Chain A
Amino acid sequence: MLSSSSIVTEAGAAIFLPPAYDIIWSAVPFALILAFFFFWVMPRFRTILDERAELIEGGIAKAEAAQAEASAQLEEYNSLLADARAEAGRIREQARADGQAILADLKQQARAEATRITATAQQQIEAERQAALVSLRSEVGTLAIQLAGTVVGETLADDAKSTAIVDRFLADLEAGEKAAK
């Protein structure tokens, strides 16, 4: 190499013919640079990039999970709300129906009570009327007999006879009343 370079030196070819030391001081440093990049720089660089990508992707995934959870909760809330509304409506309906039933029941009871009271009152009236009738009959009979005895001047002392007279009279009276009705 030395001889060839000495031949062509004047033509400037030496520039393109590296001496041994140039080759050594090129190959060795560049080999070290290659090793440095292969085994140290690039692994570190990749680690950073991967970590960062992971962080970002993790953040995105977390945000998506939160979003999904929020929408699920919203849905649940909405369905609960709808359930509650339906429940309230149902209860309202029920209450209305119950109210109507109670009202009807009360009306029915009142009506029955009124009927019962009316019936009782009529019975009482009837009983009193009967009592009054009975007492009236005996008293009116006695009075009438006394009056008639006094008037006739004769004592209708025979009770049996007078009672029969009064009864016959009253029976006639009732018959007359019935016929009049």
Chain B
Amino acid sequence: METALSTSALVTAALLRPFAGEDGEFKAPGIDEFVGLPALFFEGTPFEINRIIMVRLIALTIMVVLMYLALRKTRLVPGRGQGVAEMALDFVRVQIAEQILGERLGRKFLPLLASLFFAILAMNITGIVPFANIAGTSLVGMPLTMALVSYVAFIYAGIREVGGWAFIKNALFPPGVPWPLYILLAPVELINIFIMRPVSLALRLLLNMMVGHLLLVLAFSSTNFFFVSVSGPAAAFGALTLTGGIVITLFELLIAVLQAYVFTLLTAVYIQQAASEHH
């Protein structure tokens, strides 16, 4: 993982080197976009708030306020706000909860899935919102917390629906496999289900958001560099990087929604697998 990230940082640096070489001033965006940010409030305490934390809190607050305003006065024939909120909630209810988990379990786990979906969506979208310009999920704490919630949820579902022993047995010794294979399969499944699932949930979200931010910074800072610092025909590259930045912005919008969907969907799938008798 460390090597993967440092590789990505190296790649971004390498991409920029030809341009950076022309003028020593250009600095490729790197890990310091996320680590070692100056504190805004409560410096040095466990309640320290830096830029990303603040964006995260504002995004969640706005999401809660919008949801509250939309559903404050509910009517049978919905107005605009209620209509949009209902459509979004219905998407999670129908496309994720009920499709994966079915009627009964879907109903049970819908609040959890909706919380995950809307929280991730709100914090992802800030990555392309002007003045925020960074996803609230691009610090590891939030993806990790949500992955842990998902982890606890599917283990709870397994114990609750099929019983602790049957859940472990189904997970580690899947039926329909010749028994000698269990020697190989059980450890693989153990690592896969109880370690890799939460880790991959957290890292998929975190790295998608980090890389998206790096790409945007790269595109727009290089555009700035070409237009401001470079003179002559080379400055025309700025138009290219600007176009690239706009395209990446639209792409990030898609990624923001997609990652919220994927995280929630996988949580639902894990719950379904844990809760079913055989899988």
Contact = CB atoms under 8 A, between A and B. Distances in A.
Interface in A14-64: 14-27, 29-30, 32-34, 36-38, 40-42, 44-45, 47-48, 51-52, 55
Contacts of B86: 45, 48
A3 to B, nearest CB: 16
Contacts, number: 123
B250 interface: no
Nearest to A21: B48
B140 A29 contact: no
Main secondary structure of the interface of A (DSSP, over half): helix
B141 A37 contact: no
A22 B89 contact: no
Contact of B114 (A27, A41, A51): A41
Contact of A30 (B36, B89, B146): B146
Main secondary structure of the interface of B (DSSP, over half): helix
Most central of B68, B74, B141 by chain A CB within 10 Å: B141
Nearest to A16: B140
Nearest to A29: B60
A60 B3 CA distance: 63
B64 A21 contact: no
A122 to B, nearest CB: 103
Interface of A: 8-9, 11-27, 29-30, 32-34, 36-38, 40-42, 44-45, 47-48, 51-52, 55
Interface of B: 1-3, 5-6, 9, 31, 34-36, 42, 45-49, 53, 56-57, 60, 63-64, 67-68, 71, 74, 76, 78, 82, 86, 89, 93, 110-112, 114-115, 118-119, 139-142, 144-146, 149, 203, 206, 210
5 contacts: A11-B2, A22-B140, A37-B118, A42-B111, A55-B76
